[in-house]
Structure 1
């Protein structure tokens, strides 16, 4: 095994042990989408009209996309905690690949996310959501979801290394809850005012949400939608690729330079 691969595997193992030693945080982040599904689905579901679908079926893909976007918060908090406590400085003093450290965090987050998605999918099936697409389409939807999570995690890692403060990361991470609200994750965007609809449909979460709805259930695309929503799979792939292309090198450079 090459040195880079060995270092990367070691960093993944460290991050997974970190999750195991702090199960409360993992349980909280994984149960929150289920709580929101039950709350929004049953409390607001009867009051929201969704063309062609029951609201809970409409909501499940949106919650999956919102959970993927949560990689910003978790990536930021973990990177900031390691920076604040001097762990990153310790890694930089060791003969460890500079890419392997942040990559290990991002890869471990994917493993945790993949496992944590299963309960949400099962609860979604229990409340009436169904996978109506083919098996390859469903597999593609899950791959797209994890790709977007990977991209969002790199945003979080960069911001965490930038702030170097757990308090600042916690406050900034809380603000990321607004992002799904400015998308089509929870409500259709067709009736929004023009400028707000444009903002929501150019939100990467909207492209991912629409792609999941299309791949899982052949949901119709809203008329007059912006390009990422009108071509959701291509839009989701383009957004994910762009975010990775920008924030992966920024995060690696920030880690390597180690500036406070």
Structure 2
């Protein structure tokens, strides 16, 4: 009598599985271009609105000595362009929450858990896929700002630093929003929950200096995560020397948000969905 042998299940390959999930995320972006279009359209609309409608007046406030009108619009474009690049990254993160919720509520992630693939690769595919999309959207928004007259003073090292900041911010926020998507009961809920992230730049130094705000609002604006991140991006694009404390806060917030989002997302992924 012969004894039947059972072939062992193929072992998970974390790197190969992550690349496969990344490819899946990018293919979804091609098949469902609505989310990708939103990444660029949203910041572009805000850029055009604030520069051409409000910029003439706001520019006189952000750059003392500038007269309202064309000179004010040019000054405000210099001030707001870094903010819109950061908001583009934030918009990509809010989209990843919808993508994760679609997989979770549609049962795809439940099937992935039964397959011999690295568990972290499923979530990492979402994070990396939307990070790539966000970086492409940042390049398009920056090109639009340049076409409007924005002239960054960044050198090669500053551009490299800006790229690193955008990648770090995108990955950090993507982990947070993946967790929000997994925690949502529906795709609709997942699309609304991350909106707080889009509001925070308005309550910081993104659109006006914090010095112009009332005391209570100013205190919140100075200590919330996006103010040091935006100020660091602004300094890199200006080519000016960076403030060490502000830069450390920006990087620290990114690392903290990424670590909390990663832990939350992994815990939710392992939890049995009913």
- TM-score norm. by structure 1 comes to 0.91
The answer as to whether partners of 2:18 and 2:125 remain within 8 angstroms in 1 is yes
Q: Give the whole-Å Cα distance in 2 for the aligned partners of 1:188 and 1:72.
A: 25
Secondary structure at 1:99's aligned position in 2? helix
> Residues 18-48 of structure 1, C-alpha deviation per residue, up to 9 Å, x if partnerless?
0000112211221211121111111000111
Q: 2:258 maps to what in 1?
A: 244
Partner SS state of residue 208, structure 2: coil
Q: 1:191 aligns with which of 212, 222, 237?
A: 212
The aligned residue for residue 67 of structure 2 is: none
- 2:168 and 2:185 map into 1 onto residues whose CA distance is 26
Relative CO higher for 1 or 2, CA cutoff 8 Å, sep ≥ 6?
Answer: 1
Residue pairs, 1:158-169, within 5 angstroms: 158-169=179-190
1:90 alignment counterpart: 111
Change in Cα spacing, 1:45 to 1:230, as seen in structure 2 (3 Å) is: farther
| Unpaired runs of at least 5, structure 1 | 222-228
Check 1:202–1:220 CA distance in 2 against 1; reply closer, same or farther (3 A cut).
Answer: farther
* 2:129 alignment counterpart: 108
Change in CA separation of 1:112 and 1:67 when aligned onto 2, cut-off 3 Å? same
Q: Is the 8 A contact 1:71 1:150 kept in 2?
A: no
| Alpha-carbon contact 2:39-2:134 (below 8 Å) kept | no
Map of 2:4 onto structure 1:
none
| Aligned residue in 2 for 1:226 | none
Q: CA–CA distance in 2 between the matches of 1:214 and 1:195?
A: 26
Residue 17 (structure 2) pairs with residue 3 (structure 1): no
Which of 62, 73, 91 does residue 70 from structure 1 map onto? Answer: 91
Distance 2:107 2:237 in 1: 44
Task: Name structure 2 gaps, 5 residues minimum.
Answer: 1-11, 65-73
Of 229, 234, 237, which aligns to 2:248?
234
Q: Call closer, same or farther: CA 1:194–1:230 in 2, change over 3 Å.
A: farther
1:16 aligns with 2:30: no
Partners in 2 of 1:40 and 1:148 — Cα distance?
A: 24
Distance 1:179 1:235, change over 3 A: same
Alignment size in residue pairs: 253
Q: Is the 8 A contact 1:106 1:153 kept in 2?
A: yes
8 A contact 2:93–2:130 mirrored in 1:
no
Of stretches 177-186 and 101-110 in structure 1, the one that deviates more from structure 2 is 177-186
Partners of 1:90 and 1:174 lie apart in 2 by 29
Residues 89 and 138, structure 2, Cα contact 8 Å, conserved in 1: no
Find the aligned partners of 1:122 and 1:233 in 2 and give their Cα distance: 25
* 1:154 alignment partner, one of 175, 194, 203: 175
Larger radius of gyration: 2
Residue 228 (structure 2) pairs with residue 207 (structure 1): yes
Matches within 5 A, 1:49-64: 49-51=61-63, 54-64=75-85
* Secondary structure, counterpart of 1:137 in structure 2: helix
1:65–1:209 Cα contact (<8 Å) kept: yes
TM-score (norm: length of structure 2): 0.86
